[in-house]
Amino acid sequence: MIYCPNCGTANKDGSGFCNQCGHKLGSGSKTVCPSCGAPNPIENVFCDSCGAKLAPLVTKGAEEKPGVKGLSLPTKPLDEEVPEETPEGASEDVPDWLHRLRYVTGADQEPLATEKPAPELDAPMPPQDLGGEGEAEIPDWLRQLRAAAPPTEEAQVEPPAQEQPEGEPSKEEPAEAEVPEWMRQIGAEVQQAVAAAEAAEVKSDSEPVTEETPSISPLAETPAEPEEKAIAEEAPLQEPLPQEVLPVAVAAVALPEEPPPGETPAPAEAREAILPPAVPEEVGPPEEQEEAPPVPPASEEALAAWLQEEGPVILEAGEEAAEGETIVFAPEEYPAVALPQAEIPAWLESLAPGGGMRPDALGPAFAGKLTPEEAGLERAQIPAWLELLRPGRAKEGEIPVEETAEESGILEGVRGALRLVEAIDPSPETQARAVSESAAVTPERAELLTRLLGESTSSLVKPKPIPTQAVRERGLPWLTALLLVAAVVLPFFLPGLVPGGNTVPASTPAEALASSVQSLQPGDTVLVSFDYDPGVSTELDWPARIVLDDLKQKGVNILLMGTTPTGPGLAARFDWTGAQMVNLGYLPGQEMGLQQLTAGITGAALAGFGGAVPDAPFGVRSLSDVKLILTVASSQETIRWWVEQVGTQVQTPIAAIVSAAIEPAVRPYYASDQLAGLVSGWVGGQAYQRGSGSSSTENKDVIALEAQSLAHLVIAGLIVLGNIAYWGKRLIGRQS
């Protein structure tokens, strides 16, 4: 059904215009299913085709937002697309740098994918990794070890750009993050060392670096010298790292080019292997590169010298590291490389299991180590694009985000995390503030809700209908009723109002019944069956009485019965004074009962009416002894029962008095000579009277016919009026 958007009237599917008001029913009156696209009536909540809800409660974007409690930092800005390549075992929710962190700490035991290089164990891991681009690749700081150093004036870490447009990530941030200032300083120092080494002799022994080196931190504003560190032995690798993921320097150290067995490779050769291949400068802000002084190319001997001093020592198999040296790693396949023991910066120590920041910051895996503040780390400035993602950013008067440690989730123990959870699970202060704000409104709403719940549904006020719709809905039935009542009542006051109102149309079937009745002789028996409901008694009583009066006048014997429980009672209402009449009562079983009746009247289950059924009323034992069977019926099926069950078994003619409504269905029985006569309704009754030669002169009969005529005329007029109204509204709708 299509419901009109104007008046709400239900219209059949496919209707182009409303039946009631003529409003156009187009696609606007349908709701398109968001799932399958099928059109649905407006009032539908669920799609008729696929069952999907037509009005989703939440937007698609909202459903996709992460709901992980404790997630503070997204791996990337929400505007950026998720890279397709993620480390194997790393979920989409876990950023790469975090995944590597977990791997290092042993939390993530799954091996890294070979497609993406493993995290560089020697590479300093910034606590805030702002991007996932190229992190697994050789960092630029390592490349720069082979290249000229950038100028020292650029050692200052530039603060992140604050004026980025909303939602757009700073494209310079990843570059800066990948090349922290301290790393640039390494390059600068390398260059200086290269220059110094040129003039110096190559030392054969390397001395452990004893001097203290400042803590290295990409977050530090003052650059610090990079130091090569040793990874604690407490974090053994589950399986050896493939060579291709090794840092270049380490790889070169680990696998010298075919050293002869038993021979220690020449320091120069070893150091040559250590030397990273010269690579052109690729990374670094153009400004820095432009301003950087030209870096002299590294020479093997110069580089080797400082590396000799501070570089790692390759240990032979079974050789133990000297005091103060720490074995970097000692996989079975690779010779051990001993690095001078250097002071490991705090942030780097945090990568080691059992070291690092406070437990409440990094979790139980990092207990007993320096806090970031103690290690000289300073909180990095959150870039603007990340700042925008802070949920419930502190506006004026709002409670700022707390810097508490995460209590659960993958960032358990991390402090200073952005509390997205604040939006989902607000803090008590936020809640208290919200409560205080709504305090003024809540009592009113609570009172309203209480009142609504207390009211019974019957007292609910129905929405006021649209005035035109109300007039139409109430006015039309009243108009119809008034017209019909007028049609019935007017002839009483204005007889002759209807032209030709007392002209009875000819009816051959009715006249045939009249002939059949006229042919009866006194003493003949007629079986009359009252098979109609009391509801149609007003229509069928009158023609039935006319025929029965004729039968009484003829002096025939009348047997009454009924195939409905109310039939005998209806028959008893007639005036049987002076008539030879026996009421056989109700015959149950409908057509089965009629079938039994054909076997004999006494064999049928006739109950009698007011007394027992006599054995052979009027000498009749079977239907063959009856001269005429007359059924007064209001349903076509009753006629069918009589014709099929009785008419095929006995030769007695069957006639019918039926309601005018079923005349079209019963007429074929007369046309096929299965019925001897047929009277339908009041008009048929009057036609019977004309056929029997006793036209009624009673005024009420004429009035009844006129009233019926007027009523038919009113209905025809309503049909025409309905079409005029429908088409009129349609034309008006088109014009407007």
Partner 1 sequence: MDSLIDLLRNSGTSEQQALMLVLLLVTLPLLALFTMQQRAGKPVALRPIQAFHRVREFIGRGAETGRPIHVSLGTGGIADASTAESLAGVTFMGHIAGQSIASGAPLIVTVSDPTLLPLAQETALHAWESRQYGCDAAEPEVRLVAPEPVAYAAGVMDTLLGEHVAANVMVGKFGHEYLLMGETGIRTRTPQIAGGIDPQTLAFIQATADEVLIGEEIFASGAYLNPKPTHIASLRVQDWLRVLVTVVILVGVILRSV
Partner 2 sequence: MKGKFGRSLVTAITISTGILVLVNFFVRNDFLRQVQKTLLDWAIILAAVALILGIFNILASHARKIQNKKSGWPYSLFLLAAMGTVIVLGLADPRGPASPSVSWIFEYVQVPLQATIFALLAFFVASAAYRAFRVRSVDSFIMLIVGLIVLLGQVPIGQAIWGRIADAKDWILSYPSTGGARGIILGAALGAVLVGLRVLLGIDRPHVE
Q: Which residues bind partner 1 (CB under 8 A)?
A: 1, 10, 12, 44-46, 48, 51, 533-535, 565-566, 589-592, 634-637, 641, 648, 661-662, 664-665
The entry of partner 1, partner 2, none near residue 662 (CB within 5 to 8 angstroms by kind) is: partner 1
Reported residue count of the chain is 736
Rounded to an integer, what distance in angstroms lies between the CA atom of residue 609 and that of residue 582?
Answer: 9
Rounded to an integer, what distance in angstroms lies between the CA atom of residue 708 and that of residue 484?
Answer: 10
CA distances 256 to 145, 268, 481, Å, are 19, 11, 110
Rounded to an integer, what distance in angstroms lies between the CA atom of residue 313 and that of residue 322?
Answer: 10
Q: Is 357 exposed, middle or buried (0-12, 13-18, 19+ CB in 10 A)?
A: buried
Q: How far is the CB of 534 from partner 1 (least distance, A)?
A: 7
Rounded to an integer, what distance in angstroms lies between the CA atom of residue 302 and that of residue 208?
Answer: 18
Choose, by CB under 8 A, the member of 337, 498, 662, 679 that binds partner 2. Answer: 498
Q: Is 24 in the site for partner 2 (CB under 8 A)?
A: no
Rounded to an integer, what distance in angstroms lies between the CA atom of residue 618 and that of residue 643?
Answer: 24
The entry of partner 2, partner 1, none near residue 718 (CB within 5 to 8 angstroms by kind) is: partner 2
Q: Is 1 in the site for partner 2 (CB under 8 A)?
A: no
Scored b (16 or more CB within 10 A) or e, 8-38 reads bbebeeeeebbbbbbbbbeeebbbebeeeee
x-or-dash pattern for partner 2, window 626-665, by CB under 8 A? ----------------------------------x--xxx
Q: How far is the CB of 512 from partner 2 (least distance, A)?
A: 15
Residue number with CB closer to partner 2 (147 or 683): 683
The entry of partner 2, partner 1, none near residue 48 (CB within 5 to 8 angstroms by kind) is: partner 1
The entry of partner 1, partner 2, none near residue 641 (CB within 5 to 8 angstroms by kind) is: partner 1
Choose, by CB under 8 A, the member of 32, 394, 716, 731 that binds partner 2. Answer: 716
Instruction: List the structure tokens of 647.
Output: 């008419």
Residues 291-310, interacting with partner 2 (CB under 8 A): none
The entry of partner 1, partner 2, none near residue 480 (CB within 5 to 8 angstroms by kind) is: partner 2
Choose, by CB under 8 A, the member of 424, 481, 494, 616 that binds partner 2. Answer: 481
Q: Is 713 in the site for partner 2 (CB under 8 A)?
A: yes
User: Which helix (H) or strand (E) covers residue 654, if one does?
Assistant: strand 654-658
Q: How far is the CB of 386 from partner 1 (least distance, A)?
A: 45
Rounded to an integer, what distance in angstroms lies between the CA atom of residue 583 and that of residue 417?
Answer: 100
Q: How many CB atoms lie within 10 A of CB 205?
A: 8
The entry of partner 1, partner 2, none near residue 635 (CB within 5 to 8 angstroms by kind) is: partner 1
Q: Is 582 in the site for partner 2 (CB under 8 A)?
A: no
Q: Is 630 exposed, middle or buried (0-12, 13-18, 19+ CB in 10 A)?
A: buried
Angle, helices 508-518 vs 681-692, to 10°: value is 50
Determine the size of the site formed for partner 2 (CB under 8 A): 68
The entry of partner 1, partner 2, none near residue 142 (CB within 5 to 8 angstroms by kind) is: none
Give me the numbers of helices (H) and strands (E) for the chain, helices first please. 24, 13
Q: Is 318 in the site for partner 2 (CB under 8 A)?
A: no
Rounded to an integer, what distance in angstroms lies between the CA atom of residue 187 and that of residue 197?
Answer: 15
Residue number with CB closer to partner 2 (128 or 622): 622
Residues 36 and 20 sit within 8 Å (Cβ to Cβ): no
Q: Is 726 in the site for partner 2 (CB under 8 A)?
A: yes
Residue number with CB closer to partner 1 (546 or 633): 633
Q: In what order do the strands lie in the sheet with 337-340?
A: 313-314, 337-340, 325-327
Choose, by CB under 8 A, the member of 340, 501, 543, 677 that binds partner 2. Answer: 501
Q: How far is the CB of 724 from partner 1 (least distance, A)?
A: 19
Choose, by CB under 8 A, the member of 588, 602, 694, 733 that binds partner 2. Answer: 588
Q: How many CB atoms lie within 10 A of CB 348?
A: 23
Residues 229 and 350 sit within 8 Å (Cβ to Cβ): no
Rounded to an integer, what distance in angstroms lies between the CA atom of residue 154 and that of residue 697?
Answer: 126
Kind of pairing between the strands at 39-41 and 30-32:
antiparallel
Q: Is 471 in the site for partner 2 (CB under 8 A)?
A: no
The entry of partner 2, partner 1, none near residue 167 (CB within 5 to 8 angstroms by kind) is: none
Q: How far is the CB of 390 from partner 2 (least distance, A)?
A: 57
The entry of partner 2, partner 1, none near residue 51 (CB within 5 to 8 angstroms by kind) is: partner 1
**What are residue 679's DSSP bridge partners?**
657
Residue number with CB closer to partner 1 (225 or 473): 473
What's 678's DSSP letter? Answer: E
Could you tell me which stretch among 280-288, 320-328, 362-370, 666-674 binds partner 2 (CB under 8 A)? 666-674
Q: Is 533 in the site for partner 2 (CB under 8 A)?
A: yes
Q: Is 596 in the site for partner 2 (CB under 8 A)?
A: yes
Q: Is 474 in the site for partner 2 (CB under 8 A)?
A: no
Cβ neighbors of 223 (< 8 A, separation 6 or more) are: 155, 157, 181, 182, 184, 185
3-state secondary structure (DSSP) of residue 577: coil
Q: Is 611 in the site for partner 2 (CB under 8 A)?
A: yes
Choose, by CB under 8 A, the member of 538, 648, 697, 736 that binds partner 2. Answer: 538
Rounded to an integer, what distance in angstroms lies between the CA atom of residue 48 and that of residue 45?
Answer: 9
CA distances 368 to 229, 353, 364, 375, Å, are 19, 10, 9, 13
Residue number with CB closer to partner 1 (367 or 660): 660
Residues 676 and 627 sit within 8 Å (Cβ to Cβ): no
User: Which helix (H) or strand (E) covers residue 450, if one does?
Assistant: helix 442-454
Q: Is 609 in the site for partner 2 (CB under 8 A)?
A: yes
Residue with tokens 């200032």: 181
The entry of partner 1, partner 2, none near residue 648 (CB within 5 to 8 angstroms by kind) is: partner 1
The entry of partner 1, partner 2, none near residue 312 (CB within 5 to 8 angstroms by kind) is: none
Q: How far is the CB of 394 from partner 1 (least distance, A)?
A: 43
Residues 548-567, interacting with partner 2 (CB under 8 A): 566
Choose, by CB under 8 A, the member of 499, 578, 619, 693 that binds partner 2. Answer: 499
Q: How far is the CB of 346 from partner 1 (least distance, A)?
A: 58
Which residues sit at the interface with partner 2, rule CB under 8 A? Answer: 15-16, 19, 458, 476-477, 480-481, 484, 498-506, 533-538, 566, 568-570, 572-573, 583, 588-589, 592-593, 595-596, 599, 603, 605, 609-611, 660, 663-665, 667-668, 671, 683, 705, 708-716, 718-719, 721-723, 726-727
